[in-house]
Amino acid sequence: MNNKTRVLFLCTGNSARSQMAEAFLRHYAGDHFEVHSAGLEPKGIHPLTVQVMEEVGLPLTGQTSKSVSVYLGKVLFQYLITVCDKAEQNCPTNWPGVNQRLHWSFEDPAAFEGSDAEKLAGFRQVRDQIDQKVRDWLAQQTGQPGEMASVNQPG
């Protein structure tokens, strides 16, 4: 029997933020959590998402962009965590099987404008914010600040 805590990260396109959060939580505490991500309107994983995650040693191998309908009403989650404001506003409020709903607001790196270097910098900034938020949340869950996170920090 699977005793892992199930977590679903949800954003609009499932192309950047939720993919990053899924990869970080799986990396830091995959033995304790079953981690998924989805989008309200999945668009495929953004190439810069792949690039910035590879930079920290977390390739997104095996992760795909998928619709929330894959899970809605079909899988029980202890946590549903929205990682963008649009998903928070448009996510069904009555979701049977979700024990706790959280909202972590991050800018959409795919919407950043500017040169390629500026866009890449934006993706890195959001990646680092998500990394820190996942580690902080994980420390709250385990009651041991940074213990799991510091052991497995990507580098």
Domain coordinates in residue numbering, the chain: 5-151
pTM for this entry: 0.88
Query: Which residues contact residue 70 at a Cβ distance below 8 angstroms, ignoring those fewer than 6 apart?
Result: 38
Average pLDDT over the chain reads: 87
Question: Please, which residues bridge with residue 60 across strands?
Answer: none
CA 58 centroid distance within chain = 13
Of residues 5 and 147, the one with the higher pLDDT is 5
Does the active-site annotation cover 153?
A: no
Does the active-site annotation cover 81?
A: no
State residue 93's pLDDT score.
62
Residue 18, pLDDT above cutoff 90 = yes
Residue 56, pLDDT above cutoff 50 = yes
Span 5-151 CATH architecture = 3-Layer(aba) Sandwich (3.40)
Residue 152, pLDDT above cutoff 60 = no
Residue 78, pLDDT above cutoff 60 = yes
Helix-helix angle 116-142:47-55, to 10 degrees:
60
Does the active-site annotation cover 11?
A: yes
Q: Which of 7, 20, 81, 84 is catalytic?
A: 84
State residue 84's pLDDT score.
86
Of 93, 89, 98, 124, residue with least CA distance to 109: 124
